[in-house]
Structure formats: C-alpha cells, structure tokens
Structure 1
Amino acid sequence: MQILTPVGIDVASQKFDVAVWKGKAAYKFKAFSNTPKGFDALKKWLEPFGDCHICMEATGAYSEPLSTFLADAGYAVSVENPARIKSFCCSELSRNKTDKGDARMIARYCKLHAPVLWQPLPLNERKLKALVNRLINLQEMKQMEENRLETASR
C-alpha cells in the first residue's frame, strides 16, 4: 500500500492556504491565489512532496474549481463537510482560527481519518451543467429586461 502525504487546504474566495503534513508536528505552509494560475503554482509546489492525499472543506463555488483541477491532475482528493472538520477541531481542543491554522488542522484530519476520495463529475456532465446554468442566467436576464420594458412603457 502506497503512503500518501497528507495535505490540508483552507479555501477562501480570493486565496487558499495549504499545509503539508511532514510528520509529528512538522508542517510546510504556503498560500496561493484562488485562480487557475494559483492552481498551477500549487501543483508545481507539491511536486517535491510526492504522492499526496489532499483534503479540503466543501465550500461550493470556492472549492469546486480547485478540487476538480486537482482530481483531473491525478491527485487523491477528499472534499469534506465543514461540520466534520469543525467537530474534529473541537475534539483536538483547537482554538486557533486562522487560515493557516485551519489548513494545518485539515491536514491532520486527513492523516488521522483518511477520508473517502472525491470524484468530480465527468467532463461531459460538467459542460452540460455549465450550459444549463448559462441558459438559466440568460432566461433570468431576459425576464428582468421584459420587466423593465413593461415598467418603462406605463
């Protein structure tokens, strides 16, 4: 069985903080912008650590692009319910509430609990989902413009 290096990622709207567990209480930290450029920089930064098991909280629109990128790049990725991570932090009596501290705690959670791996939707389903979302946005915009036109013609 292959040993994977536990990595915790705390994702926010503009950036994400990464903690790589290096044994005992040793961690390596770095922050990246939550953009495709930041994703590429993370991938390059993780190379020296070998095969990694990356864990992050499910934060919807903030975490989904990163988790999808990492899974497509071949990493083992787990996307956990934030309530699980919070409960784990409470069980560890952790009061440190910083992005760096959260990333460290997520890496520790990953090491101790080996959460189930997450898989993104297949590419064709992702494309269809994006098209459906765009159609819904256009329909909403059309309705707003029709409402404005009706109001203006009164």
Structure 2
Amino acid sequence: MNKEKAGVNVGVDVGKYQLDFFIWERNKHFVVENNDDGIREAIGRLRRYQLDRIVLEATGRYEMAFTLAAFEKKLPIAVVRPILIRQFARAADQQAKTDKLDAQIMARYAATMKPRLTAQKSKNLLLIKDLVVRRRQLIDIRTMELNRQKIMGKPVDRSCNRVIKALQREVD
C-alpha cells in the first residue's frame, strides 16, 4: 500500500520590508527580506516541501513580488482577503498580534479552511488593473484640488489651476 505524503500549508505575513513564513505541519518559522534576494531564498526553501498551499493576505501591493515569483515557480498560492484571516483568528481566540503569530494563524487557516488557490493573472491584466487604480487615484487628487480651489479662493487660484491641469493631462 502506497502511503501518500501529506503536503504542507504555509502562512506568509507580508510586510513592507520583510516576509514572515510559518509552515504549519512542521511548526517552522523563518523570515526573509521582502526583496528579490529574500524572495528567491524563501522560494528555494519552500520548494523543498510538498506544498498544499501558501496563504497570504492581499496587502495592497507588498505581496505582489512574492506572489509573481511563486507563480513563476508554479507554487500553489492563495491570496485571501484580510477580513477572512481576522475572523478566523478571532474564532480561534488568537488575541496576540506579531508577525510570527500572523504567519502562524494564516498557515493554520490554510490547513483548516483550505482556501481556493488564486489563478495567475496575465501581465497585461495586471497592467490594466494598475492603470485603472492609478487613474482613480489621480481623479481623487484632482477632486481634492478642485475643492481646495473653491475654499481657498483667488489668492491660490492660479496654483490650483496649474495642478488641476497637470492632473487632467495625466488622467487623459
């Protein structure tokens, strides 16, 4: 009888400068820098295991470099909404909050809830999404500047107009 080798579930707490990893089934924690060298090191370490899934939160961009590198190496990634992890932590009565504990609760979430793997998006789709986000940001900034212009009045009108025109050119 063939004994099937169980895979491992990994949680990754993503920070601006570092990535905290926790391998649930091995009770192992390690940290790398959130840069190309650190990501390369982490992927090298993770590829030693039979992975079921690597869970990380959508953090608003800091997770992208790791996620793209993991997709490139065909690793099973599940990018989940932060609210799901918070609710799971609350249900598990996880009150303390450190990077290591966050990675650990994400690994536990991966093993328990088995979230659906995230499909890799094409580079064109990612670029379009980034451009849409940037356009929305520029429109928001332009709206703030229009509001300032109304409040501040004539003394700063020319300055506001220059900024508004520059923002409009960028939106266009």
TM-score by length of 2: 0.70
Structure 2 residue runs without a partner (length 5+):
140-158, 166-172
1:43 corresponds to = 43
Match of 1:147 among 159, 162, 168: 162
Structure 1 residue runs without a partner (length 5+):
none
1:70 corresponds to = 70
Query: Matches of residues 118-129 of structure 1 in structure 2 within 5 Å?
Result: 118-127=118-127
2:24 corresponds to = 21
**Aligned-pair distance for 1:52?**
4.1
**Aligned-pair distance for 1:3?**
4.1
2:91 corresponds to = 91
TM-score by length of 1: 0.77
SS in 1 for 2:41: helix
Q: Distance in 1 between matches of 2:80 and 2:38?
A: 21
Considering only aligned residues, what root-mean-square deviation do their CA atoms show, in Å?
2.9
Q: 1:68 to 1:2 in 2, by over 3 A?
A: farther
Q: Is this contact kept in 1: 2:7–2:49, CA < 8 A?
A: no
Q: Distance in 1 between matches of 2:129 and 2:18?
A: 25
**Aligned-pair distance for 1:69?**
1.6
Relative contact order, higher structure (CA 8 A, sep 6+): 1
What CA deviation, in whole Å up to 9, does each residue of 1:79-134 have, x standing for no partner? 1111110010000011120000110010000000000111232133335556x47x
SS in 2 for 1:61: coil
Moved over 4 A (4+): 127-130
Larger Rg: 2
Q: Distance in 2 between matches of 1:51 and 1:94?
A: 25
Q: Distance in 2 between matches of 1:47 and 1:33?
A: 18
Which letter does structure 1 place at the counterpart of 2:116?
V
Q: Percent identity?
A: 24
Q: Is this contact kept in 1: 2:8–2:53, CA < 8 A?
A: yes
Which letter does structure 1 place at the counterpart of 2:112?
L
Bigger fraction of residues in helix: 2
SS in 2 for 1:121: coil
Q: Distance in 1 between matches of 2:78 and 2:51?
A: 14
**Aligned-pair distance for 1:147?**
2.7
